[in-house]
A and B are shown apart, each in its own frame.
Chain A
Amino acid sequence: MGIEDAPSGFLLTTVENFAGYMRKASLWPVTFGLACCAIEMMAAGTSRFDISRFGMEVFRASPRQADLMIVAGRVSQKMAPVVRQVYDQMAEPKWVISMGVCASSGGMFNNYAIVQGVDHVVPVDIYLPGCPPRPEMLLNAILTLHDQIQAEPLGVNREEAARAAEAAALEATPTSDMKGLLR
């Protein structure tokens, strides 16, 4: 009986749990405020809400040192390529929180100037409603993301999950074709 006969996935799962625990405890958000939601994001860093309780008080000024992008505010068509570039400059693994209704879906600005949801530009992990969301709501979104990071697969499992997600995305209706409330 060799190591290949060991219960499948046992070793990798332990490593996944450990890596997830380490990753979720050291998220560094990139400084990226676009509008009024950024004020609430800054408030989350103040001593009343104290985002440093979760190990993320350093809002990195450089995307290369950050692994979390909090898109705080409406994304105009002109800003969209900048958002994408900042996202591309961040090192893997990286996550995106779409903070506020404008970043999530365009919100009340359903017009030609505003991107109708930042998920048209970058992949979003957590959507956070609110106009603007209060700092507790941001902390709640971050904690939801922590749970997601903790459960994130690695190695072979990650490739499988990515393949499954891509297949599902190819099957799904593109956002631009959706009607009604999902547009």
Chain B
Amino acid sequence: MADDDITRRDQAGEVGAPRPAAEYESLLPGKSGLGEILAPAAGFGVTFASMFKPTVTEQYPYEKVPTKPRYHGRHQLNRHPDGLEKCIGCELCAWACPADAIYVEGADNTPDAQFSPGERYGRVYQINYLRCIFCGLCIEACPTRALTMTNDYELAGPTRRGMIYEKQDLLAPLGDGMLAAPHPMVPGTEDDDYYRGDVAGPVPEQIDWVAQWRPEDESLAALRPAGHEQSEAR
């Protein structure tokens, strides 16, 4: 009993069997003369030529190339010119969000604590950046243009909890001449006047109100000349 007894199968019909090697014939016409001698070096011409082209690499952490102006980055909760918040706690952004990334809890404005024009303000405002897909549907849904997007994109963090941004993280910083909320609306105005842009900044009545109830407020110092505090004691 030996291997000789086993007849070999004909390889021609077998799938994947090695074929006899054929001579390789190039379809391209060959070069002749000097071209043939320089052919191995000609490929380096591309390499050498690219040395004189301008570099395309962006030196990201050192030089930040600005994004396009309408890039969808981190959100921002805006303010009216007198410092009241634009968010009215209507939750339309949370309803529009396809990823359920936004959580809003509205509350009533009271005469003692008026955060936004009108009846309601957003007491709790959270955006979970581990769910947010930056689609901008919340921005489209916002009726008061309270929620917009910045071009800020550096958001990485080591914990899940840290990636949930609260209201104080999202609220826009106070601009020039703004007075920190809460404070009453401009006397004689409705919330509609705020939305039409008729309010240009804080009026003396609002500044006096903040001086009476929160005299240590930081935004007060810029709006009120020093030495004015004594006359406020009533």
Q: How many residues of A contact B (CB 8 A)?
A: 35
A105 to B129, CA, bound (A): 9
Q: Which of B61, B103, B131, B158 contacts A105 (CB 8 A)?
A: B131
Q: Which residues on B sit within 8 Å (CB–CB) of A152? A: none
Interface footprint category on B:
20 to 34
B interface: dominant SS: loop
Task: Report A-chain residues with C-beta under 8 Å of the C-beta of B128.
Answer: 105, 181
For residue B164, which residues in chain A have a CB less than 8 angstroms away from its CB? Answer: 181-182
B61 and A101 contact, CB distance less than 8 A: no
Nearest CB of chain A from residue B84's CB, rounded to whole Å: 27
User: Are B58 and A182 within 8 A (Cβ)?
Assistant: no
How many Å lie between the Cα of A125 and that of B162 in the bound state? 13
Bound-complex Cα distance A131 to B161 (A): 19
Q: Of A47, A126, A128, A141, which is within 8 A of B57 by CB?
A: A47
B130 & A117 in contact (Cβ 8 Å cutoff): yes
A139 x B160 contact (CB < 8 A): no
Residue of A nearest to B67 (CB): A134
Q: Is the CB of A181 within 8 A of B56?
A: no
Encode A41-70 as 1/0 by CB contact (under 8 A) with B.
Answer: 000000111100100000000000000000
Of B14-22, B148-156, B176-184, B199-207, the one with at least 4 CB within 8 A of chain A: B148-156
- B157 contacts A101, C-beta separation under 8 Å: no
**Chain B contacts of A137 at CB under 8 A?**
153-156
Question: In the complex, are the beta carbons of A104 and B163 less than 8 A apart?
Answer: yes
Residue of A nearest to B134 (CB): A131
Binary contact track B134-171/A, C-beta < 8 Å → 1, others 0: 11000000000000000001111111110110000000
Q: State the Cβ distance, A169 to closest chain B Cβ, in Å.
A: 12
Residues of B within 8 A of A108 (CB): 98-99, 131, 133
Instruction: Find B158's partner among A49, A134, A144 (CB 8 Å cutoff).
Output: A144
- Is A107 a contact partner of B158 (Cβ separation < 8 A)? no
**Given contact pairs A108-B133, A181-B126, a sample of 16 additional A-B residue pairs in the complex whose CB atoms are under 8 Å apart:** A49-B58, A104-B163, A106-B131, A107-B130, A107-B131, A108-B99, A127-B160, A128-B155, A129-B155, A130-B155, A131-B133, A131-B134, A139-B61, A180-B103, A181-B101, A181-B164
